[in-house]
Structure 1
Amino acid sequence: MDFFIPQKLINKPINILLIGAGGSGSQIATELFQMDSLLRQISDQSVYINLTLVDGDTVSIFNVGRQAFYSGDVNSFKAEVLVNRFNNFGGTHWKAMNEYCDPDKMTFNGYDLIITAVDKAEFRIKLGEVFNNTQHASDLLWLDVGNGKSDGQIILGHAYRNISSTGIRLPNVYDLYSELLKQIDDASEDIPSCSTEAALTKQDFGSNRAVSAQATQLIWQLIRYAKISHHGAFVDVANATVQPLKIDPQLWAVYGYKV
């Protein structure tokens, strides 16, 4: 089964909110910059990406090498570093918000796609509940990216329960995994790394890049070809496997989601 983006999103600039500028977020931002350049060239500047990057964290020395930062970036805000880099050297007009996102206070109006590249299950739950408790119809898409040590998953779905276009509603990460997310203890997972070696024991080299590549490929397929045949993937770097998440109501029912 294929999913087609609404006609109103075709051949126009795409407004993206990227939450998180760490391992996956910084890689996704870099690939979105490359994508933006290609889209501008093949569309005579009519299709491009407007990105807003949100993260309240600053660059530490242990981020260098593992994330898209250099030693000269240490102690600067991650979102600001990346956005300034692309704006100054790539001619974009992207925006940085040097703050942590609070789903209860965040405004999502005006965006076509939200990408969450955060490491806290609590945040996903909170965001999912905000979307679930909103009654208005919207075609806003939510792409969630998560990583383990050498594996990860991406899930693209509709943010809100009610969509304004015709066609099938894609379940998001909260729809499929809310019960599992509620069992995760963020406190035990979120222990600061005191060295690069310690950081690598939590997330091995290449895992962020592999997961981010699958995420941005989904975005490319949607913008370039206006359709996708899967809405996520499960990636295992250590075993060199990628398993697509098919657009299949019977498969979704296994996770407890019914169309």
Structure 2
Amino acid sequence: MTAFLHQMPGDLATRAWRVVVVGAGGTGSALLPNLARLHHAMVELGHPGGIACTVFDDDTVSESNVGRQGFYPNDVGLHKAPLLVNRLNNLMGTRWEAQVRRIGSRDRLACDLVIGCVDTRAARKAILSSMEGSYGACYYLDCGNETDRGQVILGQVGKRMPQRLPHVGDLFPELMDPKGDATDTAPSCSMEEALRKQSLVINQAIAVQAYNLLWTLFRTGSLSYSGVFVNLSAGRVSPLNVDPEVWARFGYDPKAKRKRKLASAA
């Protein structure tokens, strides 16, 4: 069996990683402290810049978020993004930034990595739309979950990239269709109600897998897998290997896609 490896772009070893995190709720609030730890580890290991991060979220902390997400009773009513960013800046000495707004399809994100911690297909589509004009190696790390399962998928978006990692929209087009969003998107009124809808552990489980994937990419400079599927009810974690044959099982064939583009342009 042929082993495939994805190699990290060389310039990411010589300068700070420009990272955008979209969503500071369940998964975002669990991942951001890990991202700060990764930044610290990178600097301690000699990386020249670590991580320069900007967090986007327009939501405020509700009582049902306390205990389930990375928030405390005194946080209720405060905006999530600046609250988490200021806390991490004070604790870790980072100079990260927060934007109290959502990402729209007309935004243009110029960065090395976008981490999507969103819970709707419409938001995921807006993120990818904001990255479509990117040149070079622009990663999109999708962190999505349902009640007790989810996926972490690292892909690449942008032009002039003949050999790239497929992103979540390439492998799961249905996750980009806003029509698939649930009609009931109202927030839970209590923690009890929220826990009936979602496992207490799923956000942390997804955040840990994303953290480990980024740590592996930094520490080794390569990846043999570009995603992970988590199923808490079955106690199972399954990797998505970097392998065109594996991608083809999800209906993604980059060669066929390029042929269709050439045919349409002819």
TM-score, structure 1 as length reference:
0.91
Deviations 1:129-186 (A, max 9, x none): 4545x3x6321000000011111101100022532xxx73100011111135427532
Q: Which of 82, 96, 102 is matched with 1:100 structurally?
A: 102
Match of 1:117 in 2: 117
Q: Distance in 2 between matches of 1:67 and 1:180?
A: 23
Match of 1:67 in 2: 69
Asked if structure 1 preserves the Cα contact closer than 8 Å seen for 2:116 and 2:127, the reply is no
Pair 185,140 (structure 1): closer, same or farther in 2 beyond 3 Å: same
Letter of the 2:139 partner, please give it.
L
Pair 184,231 (structure 1): closer, same or farther in 2 beyond 3 Å: farther
Does residue 252 in structure 1 map to residue 247 in structure 2? yes
Q: Distance in 1 between matches of 2:175 and 2:81?
A: 29
Letter of the 1:28 partner, please give it.
L
Q: Distance in 2 between matches of 1:127 and 1:49?
A: 20
Deviations 1:52-85 (A, max 9, x none): 0100000001101111111111110100100010
Letter of the 1:139 partner, please give it.
A
Q: Distance in 2 between matches of 1:183 and 1:175?
A: 16
Runs of 5+ unmatched residues, structure 2: 255-266
Q: Distance in 2 between matches of 1:8 and 1:62?
A: 42
Q: Distance in 1 between matches of 2:56 and 2:135?
A: 25
TM-score, structure 2 as length reference:
0.89
Q: Mean Cα displacement is larger for which, 85-94 or 188-197?
A: 188-197
Percentage of matched positions with identical amino acids: 37
Pair 48,18 (structure 1): closer, same or farther in 2 beyond 3 Å: same
Asked if structure 1 preserves the Cα contact closer than 8 Å seen for 2:103 and 2:126, the reply is no
Pair 88,47 (structure 1): closer, same or farther in 2 beyond 3 Å: same
Q: Which of 5, 13, 29 is matched with 1:10 structurally?
A: 13
Asked if structure 2 preserves the Cα contact closer than 8 Å seen for 1:31 and 1:216, the reply is yes
Q: Distance in 2 between matches of 1:131 and 1:3?
A: 20
Does residue 54 in structure 1 map to residue 56 in structure 2? yes
Asked if structure 2 preserves the Cα contact closer than 8 Å seen for 1:155 and 1:232, the reply is yes
Q: What's the CA shift for 1:217? A: 0.9
Q: Which of 21, 24, 27 is matched with 1:21 structurally?
A: 24
Pair 130,95 (structure 1): closer, same or farther in 2 beyond 3 Å: closer
Pair 251,161 (structure 1): closer, same or farther in 2 beyond 3 Å: farther
Q: Mean Cα displacement is larger for which, 179-188 or 68-77?
A: 179-188
Match of 1:127 in 2: 127
Match of 2:260 in 1: none
Match of 2:38 in 1: 35
Across the aligned residues of Structure 1 and Structure 2, the Cα RMSD in angstroms comes to 1.8
Q: Which of 81, 84, 88 is matched with 1:82 structurally?
A: 84
Match of 1:144 in 2: 142
In the alignment of these two chains, the number of paired residues is: 251
Q: Distance in 2 between matches of 1:13 and 1:183?
A: 34
Q: Mean Cα displacement is larger for which, 122-131 or 73-82?
A: 122-131
Q: Mean Cα displacement is larger for which, 222-231 or 136-145?
A: 136-145
Q: Distance in 2 between matches of 1:231 and 1:27?
A: 20
SS of the residue 2:240 aligns to: strand
Q: What's the CA shift for 1:189? A: 4.7
Asked if structure 1 preserves the Cα contact closer than 8 Å seen for 2:108 and 2:130, the reply is no
